[in-house]
Structure 1
Amino acid sequence: MSAIRKKRKAFVAQEDCVACGCCVKVCPLGAIQIVKGIMAQVNMDKCVGCGKCAKECPASVIEIREVNV
């Protein structure tokens, strides 16, 4: 029986995102990009859930959640 590991990841409420790019600038791993000029998208393979993007987001549409791995 293996234990379920939890990792933290950033999630963007894409319908509320205004693509300002603040999160892109502060992400230390380059895990976020602006897609089609309308919303931010997180690369889950790169994201480590540090929370810098969520703190920086002026619209407060990014949250850090635990996910099972």
Structure 2
Amino acid sequence: MAYEIGEECIKCGACASECPVECITEGDNTYIIDESVCVDCGTCASVCPVDAPKQK
């Protein structure tokens, strides 16, 4: 099950810089996870200061 980034995102970029498969990109209001590439490792959730990434 892939992760998705919620409204809590403050666009700090911590998740994108730590993603091992580089599936996170900057969107207009939040960062966005490409679900087709996400390997469900949870790294994004573990580094996010506001707990924005959640499992779908």
TM-score (norm 1): 0.74
CA radius of gyration, larger in: 1
Which ranges in structure 2 are unaligned for 5 or more consecutive residues?
none
Following TM superposition, the consecutive aligned residue runs of length 4 or more in structure 1 with deviations greater than 4 angstroms are none
| 2: CA distance, partners of 1:43 / 1:17 | 16
Q: Which has the higher strand share?
A: 1
SS in 2 for 1:11: strand
The alignment-based identity, stated in percent, is: 29
TM-score (norm 2): 0.89
Root mean square deviation, CA, Å: 1.1
Which ranges in structure 1 are unaligned for 5 or more consecutive residues?
1-7
